[in-house]
Amino acid sequence: MAIARHLSGKEVNILILTGSPIAGRFTLPEQVDFVRIPGMIKRTNDEYQSLSIRIDPNQALHIRKSIISATTKAFKPDLFIVDKEPLGLKKEVLPTLQWLRKHLPATKTILGLRDILDESSVVCNDWKSKDVYRYLEELYDEIWVYGNQNIYDPISEYKIPSSLKPKIRFTGYIPRKQNTKSVRQKLRKRYRILDEDIFILVTAGGGGDGCELLDHYLSMHDFFPASLPFKSLMITGPFMPKSSREHLKKKAKRYGIKSQPFHPQMEQLIGAADLVISMGGYNTICEILSQQTPALIVPRETPRKEQLIRAEKLTEEGLIDHLPWKKISAQLLRDKIMTILNKSAEYKSNMARFKLSGLDTMRDRVEHFREIS
Query: Residue 239: CB partners within 8 Å, gap ≥ 6?
Result: 41, 51, 206, 207, 208
Mean pLDDT over 184-211 rounds to 93
Instruction: For residue 160, give the 3-state DSSP assignment.
Output: coil
pLDDT of residue 208: 83
Handedness of CA 184, 185, 189, 190 (dihedral sign): negative
Residue 209 has pLDDT above 90, yes or no: no
Lowest mean pLDDT among 108-117, 126-135, 219-228: 219-228
Domain borders along the chain are 2-173+356-372, 181-353
State mean pLDDT over 81-85.
96
Taking a C-beta distance cutoff of 8 angstroms, is the pair 113, 76 a contact? no
- % of the chain with per-residue pLDDT over 70: 99
Q: Which of 148, 153, 140, 171 is nearest to 2 (CA)?
A: 171
Residue 175 has φ and ψ, to the nearest 5°, of -80, 160
Residues 88-111 have a mean pLDDT of 97
Q: Give residue 24's pLDDT.
A: 83
pLDDT, tens digit, for every residue of 117-140?
A: 999 999 999 999 999 999 999 999
* 3 state DSSP class of 169: strand
Contact 92, 63 (CB under 8 A): no
Cis link prior to 299 (omega < 30° from 0)? Answer: no
Q: Are 169 and 145 in contact (CB under 8 A)?
A: yes
- 2-173+356-372 and 181-353 in the same fold: yes
CATH level 3 topology of 181-353: Rossmann fold (3.40.50)
Q: What is the DSSP letter of 9?
A: B
pLDDT, residue 40, reads: 84
Q: What is the pLDDT of residues 150-165, one digit of tens each?
A: 999 999 999 999 999 9
Check residue 45 and give its pLDDT. Answer: 60
Q: What is the mean pLDDT of the chain?
A: 94
Pair 37, 67: CB distance under 8 Å:
yes
Q: 8-64 pLDDT, tens per residue?
A: 888 899 999 999 888 888 888 899 999 999 988 776 666 778 877 888 889 999 999
3-class state of residue 254 by DSSP: coil
CATH of region 2-173+356-372: 3.40.50.2000
Burial of 144 (0-12, 13-18, 19+ CB in 10 A): buried
> Helix or strand or coil: residue 26?
coil
pLDDT value at position 44? 64
Instruction: Quick: pLDDT tens for 244-298.
Output: 999 999 999 999 999 999 998 999 999 999 999 999 999 999 999 999 999 999 9
Residue % of the chain over a pLDDT of 90: 83
Burial class (CB in 10 A: 0-12, 13-18, 19+), 326: exposed
Average pLDDT over residues 83-94: 95
Task: Give the separation between CA 128 and CA 364, rounded to whole angstroms.
Answer: 32
